[in-house]
Protein backbone atom coordinates (compact mmCIF):
# COMPACT_ATOMS: atom_id res chain seq x y z
CA UNK A 1 0.00 0.00 0.00
CA UNK A 2 0.97 3.56 -0.51
CA UNK A 3 2.06 5.51 2.57
CA UNK A 4 0.39 8.83 3.41
CA UNK A 5 0.75 11.16 0.49
CA UNK A 6 3.41 13.72 -0.11
CA UNK A 7 1.85 14.59 -3.45
CA UNK A 8 -1.62 15.87 -2.54
CA UNK A 9 -2.60 16.48 -6.14
CA UNK A 10 -3.30 12.74 -6.37
CA UNK A 11 -6.40 13.27 -4.21
CA UNK A 12 -9.83 14.37 -5.26
CA UNK A 13 -11.64 17.10 -3.28
CA UNK A 14 -13.24 15.58 -0.17
CA UNK A 15 -11.28 12.32 -0.46
CA UNK A 16 -9.46 11.08 2.64
CA UNK A 17 -5.96 9.67 2.55
CA UNK A 18 -7.17 6.32 3.92
CA UNK A 19 -9.84 6.06 1.19
CA UNK A 20 -7.30 6.81 -1.51
CA UNK A 21 -4.94 4.17 -0.18
CA UNK A 22 -7.39 1.24 -0.20
CA UNK A 23 -6.36 -1.39 -2.78
CA UNK A 24 -9.63 -1.15 -4.71
CA UNK A 25 -9.02 2.55 -5.38
CA UNK A 26 -5.79 1.71 -7.18
CA UNK A 27 -7.19 -0.98 -9.50
CA UNK A 28 -7.08 -0.27 -13.20
CA UNK A 29 -8.74 -2.66 -15.66
CA UNK A 30 -5.56 -2.82 -17.78
CA UNK A 31 -2.48 -1.78 -15.79
CA UNK A 32 0.82 -1.67 -17.63
CA UNK A 33 3.67 -3.95 -16.48
CA UNK A 34 5.40 -0.89 -14.98
CA UNK A 35 2.25 0.06 -13.06
CA UNK A 36 1.90 -3.51 -11.82
CA UNK A 37 5.49 -3.45 -10.63
CA UNK A 38 5.01 -0.09 -8.84
CA UNK A 39 1.78 -1.30 -7.24
CA UNK A 40 3.38 -4.55 -6.09
CA UNK A 41 6.27 -2.57 -4.62
CA UNK A 42 3.85 -0.23 -2.81
CA UNK A 43 1.85 -3.19 -1.52
CA UNK A 44 5.03 -4.78 -0.17
CA UNK A 45 6.06 -1.48 1.46
CA UNK A 46 2.62 -1.38 3.07
CA UNK A 47 3.66 -4.38 5.14
CA UNK A 48 6.00 -2.10 7.10
CA UNK A 49 4.10 -0.17 9.78
CA UNK A 50 5.16 3.46 10.06
CA UNK A 51 4.30 6.46 12.12
CA UNK A 52 2.59 9.38 10.42
CA UNK A 53 4.25 12.77 10.44
CA UNK A 54 3.58 16.25 9.16
CA UNK A 55 6.65 18.23 8.11
CA UNK A 56 6.30 21.99 8.58
CA UNK A 57 8.46 24.92 7.52
CA UNK A 58 8.22 28.47 6.27
CA UNK A 59 8.29 29.18 2.54
CA UNK A 60 10.65 31.90 1.29
CA UNK A 61 7.71 34.36 1.40
CA UNK A 62 7.18 33.59 5.11
CA UNK A 63 4.01 31.54 4.62
CA UNK A 64 3.77 28.24 6.53
CA UNK A 65 3.97 25.04 4.48
CA UNK A 66 3.29 21.47 5.54
CA UNK A 67 3.04 17.97 4.09
CA UNK A 68 2.02 14.56 5.42
CA UNK A 69 4.76 11.95 5.10
CA UNK A 70 5.65 8.57 6.54
CA UNK A 71 9.23 8.49 5.23
CA UNK A 72 10.87 9.58 8.49
CA UNK A 73 13.81 7.84 10.21
CA UNK A 74 16.52 8.40 12.77
CA UNK A 75 20.06 8.41 11.37
CA UNK A 76 22.47 9.24 14.18
CA UNK A 77 22.49 9.96 17.91
CA UNK A 78 25.81 11.85 17.88
CA UNK A 79 25.22 14.21 16.21
CA UNK A 80 21.42 13.94 16.37
CA UNK A 81 20.35 13.48 12.73
CA UNK A 82 17.09 12.43 11.07
CA UNK A 83 16.06 11.90 7.46
CA UNK A 84 12.86 12.10 5.47
CA UNK A 85 11.92 12.30 1.81
CA UNK A 86 9.56 14.26 -0.39
CA UNK A 87 8.37 13.52 -3.93
CA UNK A 88 10.06 15.54 -6.67
CA UNK A 89 6.55 16.29 -7.98
CA UNK A 90 5.44 17.91 -4.72
CA UNK A 91 4.54 21.59 -5.16
CA UNK A 92 6.09 22.19 -1.73
CA UNK A 93 9.47 20.69 -2.60
CA UNK A 94 11.21 23.98 -3.33
CA UNK A 95 9.99 25.54 -0.08
CA UNK A 96 11.51 22.66 1.90
CA UNK A 97 14.71 22.71 -0.15
CA UNK A 98 15.17 26.39 0.64
CA UNK A 99 14.10 26.20 4.30
CA UNK A 100 16.88 26.63 6.85
CA UNK A 101 14.68 25.06 9.55
CA UNK A 102 11.77 22.64 9.57
CA UNK A 103 9.91 20.49 12.07
CA UNK A 104 8.87 16.85 12.09
CA UNK A 105 5.52 16.58 13.90
CA UNK A 106 4.77 12.95 14.87
CA UNK A 107 0.98 12.71 14.89
CA UNK A 108 -0.98 11.32 17.81
CA UNK A 109 -3.71 8.70 17.38
CA UNK A 110 -6.46 11.34 17.51
CA UNK A 111 -4.85 13.47 14.77
CA UNK A 112 -5.87 11.45 11.71
CA UNK A 113 -7.78 14.50 10.48
CA UNK A 114 -4.52 16.50 10.50
CA UNK A 115 -2.84 13.84 8.37
CA UNK A 116 -5.72 14.06 5.89
CA UNK A 117 -5.64 17.87 5.94
CA UNK A 118 -1.92 18.10 5.14
CA UNK A 119 -2.21 15.47 2.39
CA UNK A 120 -5.14 17.24 0.73
CA UNK A 121 -5.13 19.82 -2.07
CA UNK A 122 -6.54 22.37 0.43
CA UNK A 123 -4.55 25.60 -0.08
CA UNK A 124 -5.03 26.61 3.58
CA UNK A 125 -3.82 23.48 5.33
CA UNK A 126 -3.18 25.28 8.63
CA UNK A 127 -6.80 26.50 9.00
CA UNK A 128 -8.18 25.23 12.30
CA UNK A 129 -4.88 23.58 13.28
CA UNK A 130 -3.37 24.85 16.54
CA UNK A 131 0.32 25.67 16.25
CA UNK A 132 3.07 27.13 18.38
CA UNK A 133 6.17 28.93 17.13
CA UNK A 134 9.34 26.88 17.00
CA UNK A 135 12.96 27.50 16.06
CA UNK A 136 13.26 29.77 13.03
CA UNK A 137 9.56 30.67 13.44
CA UNK A 138 8.59 27.25 12.05
CA UNK A 139 5.05 26.29 13.09
CA UNK A 140 4.88 23.27 15.41
CA UNK A 141 1.62 21.34 15.52
CA UNK A 142 0.11 21.30 18.99
CA UNK A 143 -0.55 18.08 20.96
CA UNK A 144 1.52 15.75 18.79
CA UNK A 145 3.09 12.55 20.10
CA UNK A 146 6.55 14.05 19.48
CA UNK A 147 8.21 16.86 17.57
CA UNK A 148 11.71 17.38 16.24
CA UNK A 149 12.88 20.88 15.36
CA UNK A 150 15.68 20.67 12.82
CA UNK A 151 18.12 22.75 10.87
CA UNK A 152 18.61 21.65 7.30
CA UNK A 153 21.85 19.69 7.05
CA UNK A 154 21.70 18.47 3.42
CA UNK A 155 19.44 17.07 0.72
CA UNK A 156 20.17 14.45 -1.92
CA UNK A 157 18.49 13.09 -5.05
CA UNK A 158 16.75 9.77 -4.43
CA UNK A 159 14.97 8.55 -7.56
CA UNK A 160 11.57 10.23 -7.74
CA UNK A 161 12.11 11.78 -4.27
CA UNK A 162 14.53 14.15 -2.58
CA UNK A 163 16.08 12.87 0.65
CA UNK A 164 16.46 15.47 3.41
CA UNK A 165 18.94 15.18 6.26
CA UNK A 166 18.17 17.31 9.31
CA UNK A 167 20.12 18.09 12.47
CA UNK A 168 17.81 17.99 15.49
CA UNK A 169 18.14 21.19 17.50
CA UNK A 170 15.29 20.59 19.94
CA UNK A 171 12.73 17.86 20.50
CA UNK A 172 9.79 17.06 22.74
CA UNK A 173 7.68 14.01 23.53
CA UNK A 174 4.13 13.74 24.83
CA UNK A 175 4.30 10.57 26.93
CA UNK A 176 0.51 10.43 27.24
CA UNK A 177 -0.16 10.44 23.49
CA UNK A 178 -0.44 7.23 21.49
CA UNK A 179 1.07 7.59 17.99
CA UNK A 180 -0.91 7.38 14.77
CA UNK A 181 0.26 4.36 12.76
CA UNK A 182 -0.11 3.56 9.06
CA UNK A 183 -0.07 -0.09 7.95
CA UNK A 184 -1.48 -2.02 4.99
CA UNK A 185 -3.34 0.99 3.61
CA UNK A 186 -5.05 2.00 6.88
CA UNK A 187 -4.54 4.20 9.87
CA UNK A 188 -4.02 2.20 13.05
CA UNK A 189 -3.23 2.80 16.70
CA UNK A 190 -1.07 0.75 19.03
CA UNK A 191 -3.04 -2.15 20.48
CA UNK A 192 -5.49 -2.05 17.56
CA UNK A 193 -6.20 -5.72 16.92
CA UNK A 194 -8.21 -5.14 13.75
170, 52, 44, 77 alpha-carbon torsion, rounded to 10°: 10
CATH class of the region 51-180 = mainly beta
pLDDT in tens, 83-130: 999 999 999 999 999 999 999 999 999 999 999 999 999 889 999 999
pLDDT in tens, 136-184: 999 999 999 999 999 999 999 999 999 999 999 999 999 999 999 998 8
**What residue ranges do the domains of the chain occupy?**
51-180
Question: What is the per-residue burial (b if ≥16 Cβ within 10 Å, else e) of 123-150?
Answer: eebbeebebeebebebbbbeebbbbbbb
pTM: 0.80
Amino acid sequence: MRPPLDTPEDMLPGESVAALLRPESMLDPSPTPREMSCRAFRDALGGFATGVTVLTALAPDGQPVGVTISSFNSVSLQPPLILWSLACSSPRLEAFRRARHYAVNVLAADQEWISDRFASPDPDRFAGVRTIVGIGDVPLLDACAASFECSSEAHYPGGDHVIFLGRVRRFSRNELAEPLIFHAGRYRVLGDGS
